[in-house]
């Protein structure tokens, strides 16, 4: 942030500080680690503390953030309270949820209780009224566009592989099947990035949710597989399948277990194919190379699922033949077959 822009930001903060948040000394701001977007976060030395956000309106959909926050809060979901917003400049003042992300708290002893709490909150999110103005449809075009990121950013830009016509056709067939599976499911409000780095343990031991501005109306398994097949942490597959079926029962999804697990797995494959593209784009376009270290786990989820389903088996075989030989030369690469086993 340029000095002039910084001063504008600080001046705006001083004008809109809530009366209840006392500033006992000159304003100080502490830069915090950001997310995968262009927003920048700062903790203020007020009592109680606040989070100031610089969210460039040309790059971030700030009205969507506020609209989704309000809709989720109306359903009783804990999202940061919005104390002030300036859409023209892209400035927010938000409640400070603290520093306790769920991910560092996860262990074999705590994962059951933590995920139970996260799943209960997810059930409430899915009851949110799906206002189409607030929650756009997660339609076939959007699902396909996401998977196209894999072909462009991961395969071509990151690995330098030019896809041949028959390979494009193979991927198109896979993508069509994954879209059909997603659209066949009951449709609910979807956070769209519901995992352990976007859930926070609050002072009252309840969970709060962040990074929800891309929420949509879409498949019922999307957020569940984001949580249980987390791109940043892995748990035993059978344990997560049991959790998925428990969630199905609580959500009262009226299909048999095999159908639900098929939806769950194939939704995960759609998401993880997309994520391979997103992580590559974050590294190459945005300079956020740390995300490359998480690619082997995302590959593992993708390939384990692709191997098990007839429609996606060709993708599994193609990946092993065409993609895997190019991976060993990548400085970030580690064996995908053991990714996530270190917890």
**Tens of pLDDT along 173-208?**
999 999 999 999 999 999 999 999 999 999 999 999
Tokens 């086993």, residue located: 341
Q: How high is the pLDDT of residue 25?
A: 86
Residue 87 DSSP label: T
pLDDT tens digit string along 272-317? Answer: 999 999 999 999 999 999 999 999 999 999 999 999 999 999 999 9
Per-residue pLDDT, averaged over 87-92, amounts to 95
- Distance in angstroms (rounded) separating the CA atoms of residues 253 and 242: 15
What pTM, to 2 d.p., does this model score? Answer: 0.93
335 Rama sector, left if φ>0, alpha if ψ -120 to 50, beta otherwise: beta
CA distance 124 to 119: 9
Distance CA 324, CA 336 (A): 10
Give the per-residue pLDDT at 236: 96
State the DSSP H helix or E strand holding residue 120, giving kind and residue range, or none if neither.
Answer: helix 111-125
| Domain boundaries of the chain, sorted by first residue | 10-95, 103-338
Phi, psi of 246 (to 5 degrees): -65, -40
Q: Please answer whether residues 324 and 337 qualify as being in contact, where contact means their C-beta atoms are separated by less than 8 angstroms.
A: no
Side-chain half-sphere exposure of 160, counting CA atoms within 13 A: 5
Query: Which token pair is 223?
Result: 């957020």
Does domain 103-338 match CATH 3.90.1200.10? Answer: yes
Is there a contact between 189 and 130 (Cβ–Cβ < 8 Å)?
yes
What SS3 class is residue 252? coil
pLDDT exceeds cutoff 70 at 49:
yes
Rounded to whole angstroms, the Cα distance separating 49 from 47 reads 5
Report which of 316, 239, 315 is spatially closest to residue 230, judged by C-alpha positions: 239
Task: Give per-residue pLDDT as tens, 241-277.
Answer: 999 999 999 999 999 999 999 999 999 999 999 999 9
Are 51 and 95 in contact by the 8 Å Cβ rule? The answer is yes
Q: Does pLDDT of 66 surpass 80? A: yes
Helix (H/G/I), strand (E/B), else coil: 341: coil
Residue 42: left (phi > 0), alpha (psi -120 to 50), or beta? beta
> What band does 38 get if pLDDT is binned at 50, 70 and 90?
confident
d(CA 29, CA 43) in angstroms, rounded, equals 6
Six-digit token string for 268? 């995960």
Asked whether the beta carbons of 216 and 136 are under 8 A apart, the reply is yes
Crossing angle between the packed helical segments 257-284 and 140-149, to the nearest 10 degrees: 50
User: pLDDT at residue 1 above 60?
Assistant: no
- Backbone phi and psi for residue 48, each to the nearest 5 degrees, phi listed first: -70, 160
**Is the torsion defined by CA of 260, 265, 266, 270 positive or negative?**
positive
| 153: pLDDT strictly greater than 60 | yes
CB 171 within 8 A of CB 72: no
We find that the CATH architecture of domain 10-95 is: 2-Layer Sandwich (3.30)
The per-residue pLDDT for 24 is 85
Question: With pLDDT > 90 as the criterion, what percentage of the chain qualifies?
Answer: 90
Name residue, tokens 């709060």.
Answer: 208
Q: How many CA atoms lie within 13 A of 46 on its CB side?
A: 21
């Amino acid at each position: 942030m340029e000095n002039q822009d910084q001063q504008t930001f600080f001046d705006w903060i001083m004008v809109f500080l809530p009366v209840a948040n006392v500033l006992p000394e000159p304003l100080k701001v502490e830069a915090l680690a950001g997310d995968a977007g262009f927003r920048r976060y700062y903790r203020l030395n007020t009592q109680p503390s606040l989070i100031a956000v610089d969210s460039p309106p040309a790059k971030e959909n700030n009205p969507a953030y506020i609209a989704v926050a309000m809709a989720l809060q109306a359903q009783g979901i804990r999202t940061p309270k919005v104390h002030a917003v300036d859409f023209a400049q892209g400035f927010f003042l938000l409640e400070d949820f603290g520093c306790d992300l769920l991910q560092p708290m996860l262990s074999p002893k705590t994962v059951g209780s933590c995920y139970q709490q996260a799943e209960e909150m997810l059930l409430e999110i899915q009851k949110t009224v799906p206002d189409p103005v607030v929650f756009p449809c997660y339609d076939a075009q959007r699902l396909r566009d996401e998977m196209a990121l894999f072909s462009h950013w991961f395969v071509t830009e990151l690995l330098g592989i030019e896809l041949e016509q028959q390979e494009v056709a193979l991927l198109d067939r896979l993508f069509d099947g994954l879209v059909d599976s997603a659209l066949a499911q009951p449709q609910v409000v979807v956070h769209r990035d519901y995992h352990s780095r976007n859930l926070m343990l609050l002072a009252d031991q309840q969970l709060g949710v962040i990074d929800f501005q891309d929420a949509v109306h879409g498949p019922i398994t999307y957020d569940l597989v984001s949580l249980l097949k987390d791109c940043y942490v892995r748990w035993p597959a059978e344990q997560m399948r049991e959790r998925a079926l428990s969630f199905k029962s609580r959500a009262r999804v009226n299909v048999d277990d095999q159908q639900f697990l098929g939806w769950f797995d194939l939704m995960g494959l759609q998401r993880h194919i997309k994520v391979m593209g997103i992580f590559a784009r974050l590294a190459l376009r945005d300079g956020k190379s740390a995300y490359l270290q998480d690619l082997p786990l995302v590959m593992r989820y993708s390939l384990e699922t692709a191997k098990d389903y007839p429609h996606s088996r060709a993708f599994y075989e193609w990946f092993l033949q065409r993609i895997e030989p190019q991976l060993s030369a990548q400085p970030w690469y580690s064996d995908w077959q053991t990714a996530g086993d270190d917890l």
